[in-house]
Structure 1
Amino acid sequence: MTAAALTPSTVLDAADWQPRRQAHQERVDAWLAPHLERRRRGEKHPVEDFLFTYYSYRPAQLRRWHPGPGVELRDADPAEFGRDYRATAGGVTLDTAAAHARRAESIAWIRTLLAATAGRQAHLGCFGMHEWAMVYRQTQAEVRHNSWPLRLSPEETARTVEANRIRCSHFDAFRFFTALARPLNLLAPSRETQHALEQPGCLHANMDLYKWAYKLSPLVPSELVADAFALARDIRTLDMRASPYDLADLGYPPVRVETVEGRHEYVQAQRSFAERAAPLRARLIAECDRLALAVAG
């Protein structure tokens, strides 16, 4: 990386960057506070806690604000921002070269996946059957969220799975299928085929934009990570409303995908999420490309 690429192109005074940081923290705190309070009480929530338990990004990491590369923050302390920052004469800036070097392989992998996914046509015919396949032929005691009842009997749940073509393209959903459900899937996704199979209509592929955003952090602005989190949070709500679980008492009326009307409702919501995810995916690709240009000097 050249000296020019290492020089911050934007300088923010404390009066500019501190309000941005505060706005990010306040936005994130609205999501964190209920989760942390439940955690203190030893309570679990199958919808609201998912992004904090399934993904590896800790609440404190999500709350920490980063401006992205090429920005100098005046009157800032490097200790507030983490090991990827270095002191300047007037404050701090991201050490883009060092941060990129530690993540170079991951950045390339993520960029390839995002671009491949964006280049495919959205498939909207799965009807959320991945969640049903995760409980297929299991007893109530065996299912993952066994503190909440299933809406249908085990036999009715199994018939719903068997009556619908399961075409799950997402490995991290497929790997939770029951052993009896896996042969019913039209695809056999694996980590090795992830780049070849993921498509932009998949709820979990769009939810994972949060994962790719935080794995790129602090090389992307925290506002982008939070935008991806907000999308993932909304997607999780549909995911569980369309699942076989009865979560009405928690305030989540079911999307009855076992009916024609429910499947239509699901497809409409799935299409809307695909449309919301597209610009986020494009922003992440653009950030990867911007980093590549900076590294090339």
Structure 2
Amino acid sequence: MGPMTSAADLVRPTRLSPEQWQARRSHHAERIDGLLGDQLVKRAQHGRQSIEEFLLTYYNFRPAQLRRWQPGPGFILDGAEPEEFGPYFVADPHGAVRLDAAGVLERRRDSVEWIYRLLSSTAARAPHFGCFGMHEWAMVYRQAPAEVRHNLLPLRLGAEGTADVVDQLAVRCSHFDAFRFFTPAARPLNLLQPTRETQHEHDQPACLHANMDVYRWAYRLSPLVPSELIADCFELAKEIRTLDMRASPYDLTTIGLSPIQVETAEGRAEYVRFQRDFSERAGLLRNRLVDYCEQALG
């Protein structure tokens, strides 16, 4: 994780010298480069199957945006130019740069309030750890091979074996952006029928996709949150997506991932151990985003 930036920073502005903010900017860019790794090489080798490529494609935030550093609210940057940080940064009469948070809210208040409600309601809900990653299995349930979403990857247990696991374990998916990719045959099997309109009622803090989406809400709140926090969320999303794919029905040995065999009791227990850890870590990040929203909205 990168340096923690608390909501208290929003109350007492901190002045950063050119040396201080430039060091933070350089550290952030190096960190993102490390998280992306040889992403272009992986794209050439594996297409969209690589973890990094999925995150950059599924989430609408480009590598250049992820690398670009901005301090968020609560900082005054000496010796800076507003253009270095984005359209909501302004220079004061003394030539220092700060975020115009009021200007952000003037244009994006509805979005910030929607994200705040979702984050808050998710954090307040009891976690449920019994899904065992069946959402990925439901996306290929009783589907023709040519229609499988990741059709370049073989199914570990074959089509019938995959369907048998879904039938035995049932599907308990609460996240709309996973549910919307279910096959027609799998949709009626789900215990919930989530929609975009009911997302605030269904997202819960043990869900891998809801916790991976903490990254989505972090960058959508930018520049009201610092780039370091967005990087924290991206780093966690990368780990969560790795578990998501390891627990999927696909054979991922060609991209270097060993399976978590959720069709077995041992595999399900391993999945839940990871899921609990991610739930705790995502909860900390979610709470930080809630703090920033509350400070911004007053």
Taking structure 1 as the reference length, the TM-score comes to 0.93
Contact 1:132 1:243 in 2 (8 A): yes
- 1:242 corresponds to which of 242, 247, 262: 247
* Residue 78 in structure 1 maps to residue 94 in structure 2: no
Equivalent-residue separation in structure 2 for 1:40 and 1:203 (angstroms): 27
State the shift of 1:238 in Å: 0.4
| Aligned residue identity for 2:291 | A
1:1-297 matched pairs, under 5 angstroms: 9-39=13-43, 43-88=47-92, 89-293=94-298
Give the Cα separation in 2 of the matches to 1:154 and 1:233. Answer: 28
- State the secondary structure of the residue aligned to 1:177: coil
Contact 2:48–2:54 (Cα < 8 Å) also in 1: no
Structure 2: segments with no counterpart, 5+ residues = 1-9
Q: CA deviation at 1:33?
A: 4.5
In the superposition, relative to structure 1, how do residues 143 and 40 fare at CA in structure 2: closer, same or farther (>3 Å)? Answer: closer
- Letter of the 1:210 counterpart: Y
Q: Secondary structure at the match of 2:155?
A: coil
Give distance in 1, aligned partners of 2:254 and 2:290: 40
Partner deviation per Cα, 1:138-177 (whole Å, 9 max, x = no partner)? 2332111111111011111111111112110000000000
**Match of 2:4?**
none
- 2:74, 2:286 → 1: CA distance? 21
Separation in structure 2 between the aligned mates of residue 141 and residue 46 of structure 1, nearest angstrom: 21
- The one-letter amino acid paired with 1:68 is G
Residue type at the aligned position of 1:245: Y
Determine the C-alpha separation between the residues in 1 that align with 2:275 and 2:47.
Answer: 30
TM-score using structure 2 length: 0.93
Rounded to whole Å, the distance in 2 between the matches of 1:273 and 1:256 is: 19
One-letter amino acid of the structure 1 residue matched with residue 229 of structure 2: L
Equivalent residue of 1:18, what SS? helix
The one-letter amino acid paired with 1:121 is: A
Unaligned runs of 5+ in 1: 1-5
Deviating above 6 A after TM superposition, structure 1's stretches of 4 or more consecutive aligned residues are none
Letter in 2 for 1:266: Y
How far has the Cα of 1:37 moved from its partner? 3.8
Deviations along 1:113-139, one digit per CA (max 9) or x if unpaired, are 111111111100000000000011123
- Aligned-pair CA distance for 1:182: 0.3
Deviation (angstroms), 1:82? 1.4
